[in-house]
A and B are shown apart, each in its own frame.
Chain A
Amino acid sequence: RKEVEQDPGPFNVPEGATVAFNCTYSNSASQSFFWYRQDCRKEPKLLMSVYSSGNEDGRFTAQLNRASQYISLLIRDSKLSDSATYLCGSQGGKLIFGQGTELSVKP
């Protein structure tokens, strides 16, 4: 089993939709979690950090469930510019990434 797992998608949604991604992790010692956004042929950019139960930044909400060992990312009112691959990272000594979830927002 991979240490961090994500649904690879692709998720194809219309503009304005709400979309949620889940990410599960196996290392119960992990203390910090991150969502990165990666555009095609670019480096990952940090989107959100999650240290406690959750975090919210505008249209983006991340939630952490330690009992079930998963992190979610909710995007509300999705925009065309949200199209990208979203990487989940779990840090328990070192930062390990899931395989990424591809999102495509259509007009």
Chain B
Amino acid sequence: SAVISQKPSRDICQRGTSLTIQCQVDSQVTMMFWYRQQPGQSLTLIATANQGSEATYESGFVIDKFPISRPNLTFSTLTVSNMSPEDSSIYLCSVEGLGGNNEQFFGPGTRLTVL
């Protein structure tokens, strides 16, 4: 199995600022995704991070608020822009294609608190 890391693991930010979260995998993967898990809730897919092209966003999520980069097959970033307290959540990246199948594995998550 691969090692998936995220940085930072947690952060406390001020309203109106932006935070960029990094996701690094130690092997090449086909697909990378970003999820949000709000307190007491399940996981909600934000977007699919496409290598070399713009991310594919789910309903309710837009590029201006959550810009995503994926410069290669092992790395992606998610930026939470112009944050408000409603953005307080855990943000998780996941990867697919490690074993040649469509199983997804999650990074450890980034716990974000916006004051």
Which A residues lie at the B interface, using CB under 8 A?
32, 34, 42-46, 49, 87, 89, 91, 94-100
Contact = CB atoms under 8 A, between A and B. Distances in A.
Contacts of A100: 42
Contacts of A98: 42
Interface in B19-48: 33, 41-45, 48
Given A43-B92, A94-B48, A87 B42 contact: yes
B91 to A, nearest CB: 11
Contact of A43 (B33, B44, B45, B107): B107
Interface of B: 33, 41-45, 48, 58, 92, 94, 101-109
B42 A34 contact: no
Nearest to B6: A43
A95 B42 CA distance: 12
Contacts of B101: 49
B42 A43 contact: no
A15 to B, nearest CB: 26
A89 B103 CA distance: 11
Interface of A: prevailing SS: strand
B45 A96 contact: yes
Contact of B108 (A34, A43, A49): A43
Contact of B105 (A46, A89, A94, A99): A46
28 contacts: A34-B103, A34-B104, A42-B109, A43-B106, A43-B107, A43-B108, A43-B109, A44-B43, A44-B92, A46-B104, A46-B105, A49-B101, A49-B103, A87-B42, A89-B104, A94-B33, A94-B45, A94-B48, A94-B58, A95-B33, A95-B94, A95-B104, A96-B45, A97-B42, A97-B43, A98-B42, A99-B42, A100-B42
A43 to B, nearest CB: 4
B106 A95 contact: no
Given A87-B43, A94-B45, A97-B42, A46 B108 contact: no
A42 B41 CA distance: 13
Contacts of A91: 102
10 pairs of A and B residues whose beta carbons are closest in the complex: A43-B106, A99-B42, A97-B43, A97-B42, A100-B42, A43-B109, A43-B108, A44-B106, A95-B104, A32-B102
